[in-house]
Amino acid sequence: MRWCPITASLRVLAVSFAVLMATKPARAQQLPPAQPAPDDDPRRGPRLEYKRGPAECLPEEEFRSEVAIAAHDGIDHLHASSPDVVRVWFEKIRGGFRGTVEYTDKTGAKDPPQIHTSDHCRLLARWVASTVGETIPRPLAPTCPPCPAPACPACRVCGTSQPPPPCPVLPTPPPWRMDLSVGLSTYVAMSAFFSSNVGPVVAVAGEVRGEVFGVAAEFRIVLPSRTYALEPVPGATSSYPQEFDLSQLSALLVPCARYKYFVGCAVAQFGSILTQNRRLATLLSYSFGPRLGFEVPFAERFAAFGFGEVLFAPDPAGIDFIYPDPENPGVPPANTGWTQSVASGFFGVGVSVKFR
């Protein structure tokens, strides 16, 4: 078959035109223009100052249409007479485009600029329009119109009429209330490092508590236990150990937090230390510390609990035994002293009852 240069040239032109038409980008579909807002627009937005920038970005009219879509009603709420202004501009950057939104209220105060970037400017314009849409007031909540008067139940001319539908009644939230309860408890415990021996302890307590937090007030008695004064009195030429009974009466303030069966508390104790040798002496004392424990309910209102606590005395109490006593010359000499331990421990178990 004989090859014809003219025919070949026509074929090349036809293929080139087809490829060109196939690769030519389709023209973007233009959005319908936004509807103008009424003069008494309840959603009056700010004034728009728009800079299109690159040709790939939207013109102002199409951008306003995007903002109207973001406002959820298709109405252009951006008013030219608004005292506040929103400025929008687009720029070409490396690898794409950048859109910036800057809002200034009627007092002249500016919000920090909001910046969006994308490699497609039309897609970027949708994001920027959503940001501008946030400056437009939200639509007012619909209000229920007044209920019309009931129609006549029956009429010979117009037939039986139906009563109008009732206006919806919005549910009212329940009033907020704090779920509190009152608890009473008693426990027995043993002291450690308070006296020379382990001392028995009894206590009663009352508590106001919620689901997690509570505050308790306790009255605690450390029963007398044997203690020894061994420290020589400064300046004395001789000293002899002295035995005496040590007890304590104290009130405690105990705020606690509970999680499942675990209890954590802070303890503040104020009271008197009583020493009994040949005479009774009273010493004021105070101490603070943590308490950890558990509480297990075993009936509707009752629970068993156990705890351990460590109390620290910032200013330990002390007493000196100085003998011979001029009034009792036959009493053996002493010249020794006792000082309260800086830290003492208490470990106890008890039961509690809770009242609503």
pLDDT of residue 180: 84
- Report yes or no on 109 lying in a domain: yes
Give the pLDDT confidence of 277-330 residue by residue, as tens digits: 877 889 999 999 999 999 999 987 899 999 999 999 999 988 888 776 566 666
Q: What is the CATH number of the domain that holds 311?
A: 2.40.160.20
270: in domain: yes
Tell me which residue of 194, 205, 54 sits closest to 122, measured CA to CA: 54
Q: 13 lies in a domain?
A: no
Predicted TM-score of the model (pTM): 0.49
Look at residue 17 and tell me whether its pLDDT is greater than 50. Answer: no
Considering the domain architecture, whether residues 37 and 123 belong to the same structural domain is answered as: yes
Residue 285 lies in a domain: yes
186 & 126 share domain: no
For residues 127 and 190, state if they share a domain.
no
Return the pLDDT at 299: 80
**Which has more pLDDT, 24 or 185?**
185
Domain termination site, one of 100, 133, 166: 133
Is the model's pLDDT at 182 over the cut of 60? yes
| Within-domain flag for 329 | yes
- Residue where a domain terminates, one of 70, 101, 133: 133
- Number of structural domains (the chain) is 2
Q: Where are the beta strands (DSSP E) in the chain?
A: 35-36, 47-51, 75-76, 85-93, 96-104, 114-118, 181-192, 199-209, 213-229, 231-232, 242-259, 262-276, 280-297, 302-312, 318-321, 336-339, 343-355
Across the chain, mean pLDDT equals: 82
Residues 261 and 322 in one domain: yes
Domain boundary among 68, 103, 133: 133
Average the pLDDT over 268-275 and give the result.
94
* Percent of the chain at pLDDT exceeding 90: 44
What are the CA-CA distances from residue 348 to residues 200, 252, 255, 306 (Å)?
10, 15, 17, 6
Looking at the structure, tell me whether residues 185 and 79 fall in a common domain. Answer: no
Same domain flag for 338 and 194: yes
Query: In terms of domains, do 113 and 247 share one?
Result: no
123 and 224 fall within a common domain: no
* Residues 203 and 335 grouped into a single domain: yes
Question: Which residues touch 199 (CB under 8 Å, ≥6 apart)?
Answer: 190, 191, 222, 223, 224, 225, 246, 247
In a domain, 141, yes or no: no
Domain extent for 114: 28-133
Q: Is the peptide bond before 324 cis (omega within 30 degrees of 0)?
A: yes
Could you tell me if residue 292 is inside a domain?
A: yes
Q: For the segment 36-82, what is each residue's pLDDT rounded down to a tens digit?
A: 888 788 888 899 999 999 988 999 999 998 888 887 778 888 888 88
Please give the pLDDT value at position 216. Answer: 95
Length of the chain: 356
Q: Which of 189, 190, 196, 192 has the alpha carbon at shortest distance from 226?
A: 196
Per the model's pLDDT, the better-predicted residue between 167 and 280 turns out to be 280
**2 in any annotated domain:** no
Tokens read off for 67: 């903002």
What pLDDT is recorded for position 6?
A: 43
| pLDDT computed for residue 166 by the predictor | 64
108 and 201 fall within a common domain: no
Please report the pLDDT score of residue 84 as a whole number. Answer: 92
pLDDT digits (tens, 9 = 90+) for 210-254: 888 999 999 999 999 989 888 888 777 777 888 889 999 999 999
Model pLDDT for residues 90-144, shown as the tens digit of each residue: 999 988 999 999 999 989 899 999 999 998 898 899 899 989 988 888 876 666 5
* Inter-CA distances, 34 with 69, 77, 78, 134, Å: 8, 9, 11, 17
- Which two structure tokens, joined as six digits, stand for 342? 């800086």
The first and second tokens of residue 178, run together, are: 């704090």
Looking at per-residue confidence, does 332 or 220 come out higher? 220
**Are 106 and 227 within one domain?**
no
Note whether 187 and 125 are same-domain residues: no
C-alpha 100/C-alpha 88 separation (Å) is: 6
Q: Report pLDDT for 177.
A: 58
